[in-house]
Amino acid sequence: MREVAEKHTMPKRTQPYVLHASLVSEVEIDYSAYPFNIPAVSTLDCIRFHPNVTFFVGENGSGKSTLLEAIAVALGFGPEGGTKNVQFKTTDSTSVLHEVLRVARGSPKPRDGYFSEPRASLTSRHIWTNWVTI
């Protein structure tokens, strides 16, 4: 049984698939309008991702969920969570941030992934963290 489990384990990454994310510099951005006026976005320079895990930490309303959602949408996931093949859309509340976000990717490209919409955890009675697994 152990042989089967070892056969299907993923190799350890030395670099993350998502290397870094930043705003596209060639686009004029109105920093007085949402979502560019929230702290996590207005001060965004470049987010460099760690190969194992990157934590987004901040006060409520600082833009953690908005930024994670934009990164996920820029990577091809639905704004309300799911896989790239199965996406949910119950409302049109996605910000335009993903349109001006440059996401640098490494290799190899993962075969699959899942995005858990950050605000969805607020509707459950469980404590969840925001996460993107790719």
List, for residues 21-69, the tens digit of each pLDDT value: 999 988 899 999 999 999 889 999 999 998 888 888 888 888 888 898 8
Dihedral pair phi/psi, residue 46, rounded to 5°: -155, 125
Residue 7 binned pLDDT confidence (cut-offs 50, 70, 90): low
CB atoms within 10 A of CB 122: 9
The three-state (H, E, C) secondary structure of the chain, written as one string: CHHHHHHCCCCCCCCCCEEEEEECCCCCCCCCCCCCCCHHHHCCCEEECCCCCCCCCCCCCCCHHHHHHHHHHHCCCCCCCECCCCECCCCCCCCHHHHHEEEEECCCCCCCCEEECHHHHHHCCCCCCCEEEC
- Between 20 and 122, the more confident residue is 20
* Count of all residues that appear for the chain in the document: 134
Average pLDDT of the chain?
78
Question: pTM above 0.75?
Answer: no
pLDDT at 102: 94
